[in-house]
């Protein structure tokens, strides 16, 4: 049971409870235990157990439920963002189902110059000829990474696959597949991406800049692709008013 944390977790318990909450946890823990001891009914045992947990939480600064919900009050950031551990290369597969004809979906993607509109990390793609294209990806601090790619497989309304040509700054390959979903539920679109950063420190740095959250980036890109194909524009709140200065 999720809530029955018994204080025996020796694996990873990083601090994810802020200091104020830790103090309150300690106090609340004591109060609950006392209350639980004073009353004798169905609720006294859970109350004592909870009190014990609050003490644990106050003392260690770790809330197992926060980990479960991926929330963290100890650092003031958004609740998402768990970085993919950096390994040898990155492999991402993401799928989405879109209500639009397979022809339209394929056509949009086959014009690679459309991709920066949906893939947030791409600055531009210039088509050189039927096979070749030049890609520029954004990186933080105004930097960018560029490479040439070629289409290696193209079956209309089924699959498009590409890969960077030799000597690219960052070797990468990708494909997109289109398949009708059962019973007219749209088209299943599956994207596969692979990056192999060059060896050495520079490679690590580039890989980091290039795709800190490749899985998230790809998922977001597919969501935008769906928005463009289903409703004709990318859903946004960018530029709206707020009371933030």
Partner 1 sequence: MRAVTWQGPNKVTVENVPDPTLLNQHDAIIKVRLTSICGSDLHLYDGFVPSMLPGDIIGHEFMGEVVAIGKSVRKLKIGDRVVVSSIIGCGKCWFCEQALWSLCDNSNPNNGLEAMYGYTTSGIFGYSHLFGGYAGSHAEYIRVPFADQVAFVVPENLSDEQTLFVSDAFPTGYQAALFCDIHPGDTVAVWGAGAVGLFAMRSAYMLGAEKVIAIDRFPERLEHARVNGHAVATLDYTETDVIDALKELTGGRGPDSCIDAVGMEAHAGGLPGMYDKVKQSMRVETDRPHVLRQAIQACRKGGTFSIIGVYAGLVDKLNMGAAFNKGLTFRMGQMHGPSLIPDLLGRVERGEIDPSFAITHRMSLEQASEGYETFKHKNEQCLRVVFQP
Residues that bind partner 1 (CB under 8 A): 2-3, 21, 24-25, 28, 31-32, 35-36, 39, 41, 43-44, 46-47, 50, 53-54, 57, 63, 65-66, 68-71, 73, 78-80, 97, 99, 185-186, 216, 219-220, 223, 226-227, 230-245
Q: Any idea what DSSP says for residue 217?
A: H
Smallest gap from residue 47 Cβ to partner 1 (A): 5
Pairwise CA distance, residues 136 & 75, whole Å: 33
Q: How many other β-carbons are positioned within 10 Å of the β-carbon of residue 188?
A: 16
Q: Considering the complex, what minimum distance in angstroms separates the CB of residue 81 from partner 1?
A: 9
The residue among 15 and 35 lying less far from partner 1, judged by its C-beta, is 35
**CA trace torsion 46, 48, 51, 55 (10° rounding):** -130
Q: Which residue, 73 or 124, is less far from partner 1 as judged by CB?
A: 73
Given the complex with partner 1, which of 10 and 78 has the nearer CB atom? 78
CA angle centred on 91, ends 86 and 96, rounded to 5°: 125
Given the complex with partner 1, which of 18 and 203 has the nearer CB atom? Answer: 18
Neighbours of 197 (CB within 10 A): 23
Query: Token digits for 190?
Result: 């599956």
């Amino acid at each position: 049971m999720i809530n029955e944390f018994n204080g025996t977790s020796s694996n990873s318990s990083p601090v994810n409870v802020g200091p104020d909450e830790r103090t309150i946890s300690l106090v609340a823990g004591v109060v609950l235990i006392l209350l639980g001891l004073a009353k004798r009914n169905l609720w006294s045992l859970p109350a004592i157990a909870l009190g014990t947990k609050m003490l644990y939480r106050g003392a260690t600064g770790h809330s197992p439920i926060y980990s479960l919900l991926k929330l963290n009050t100890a650092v003031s950031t958004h609740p998402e963002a768990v970085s993919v551990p950096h390994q040898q290369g990155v492999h991402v597969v993401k799928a989405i189902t879109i209500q639009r004809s397979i022809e339209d979906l394929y056509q949009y993607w086959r014009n690679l110059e459309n991709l920066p509109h949906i893939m947030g990390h791409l600055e531009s793609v210039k088509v050189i000829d039927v096979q070749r294209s030049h890609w520029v990806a954004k990186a933080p601090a105004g930097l960018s990474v560029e490479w040439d790619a070629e289409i290696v497989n193209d079956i209309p309304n089924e699959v498009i696959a590409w890969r960077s040509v030799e000597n690219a700054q960052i070797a990468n390959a990708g494909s997109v597949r289109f398949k009708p979903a059962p019973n007219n539920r749209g088209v299943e679109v599956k994207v596969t991406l692979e990056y192999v950063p060059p060896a050495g420190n520079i490679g690590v740095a580039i890989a980091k800049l290039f795709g800190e959250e490749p899985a998230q980036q790809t998922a977001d890109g597919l969501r935008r692709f769906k928005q463009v194909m289903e409703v004709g524009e990318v859903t946004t709140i960018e530029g709206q008013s707020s009371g933030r200065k």
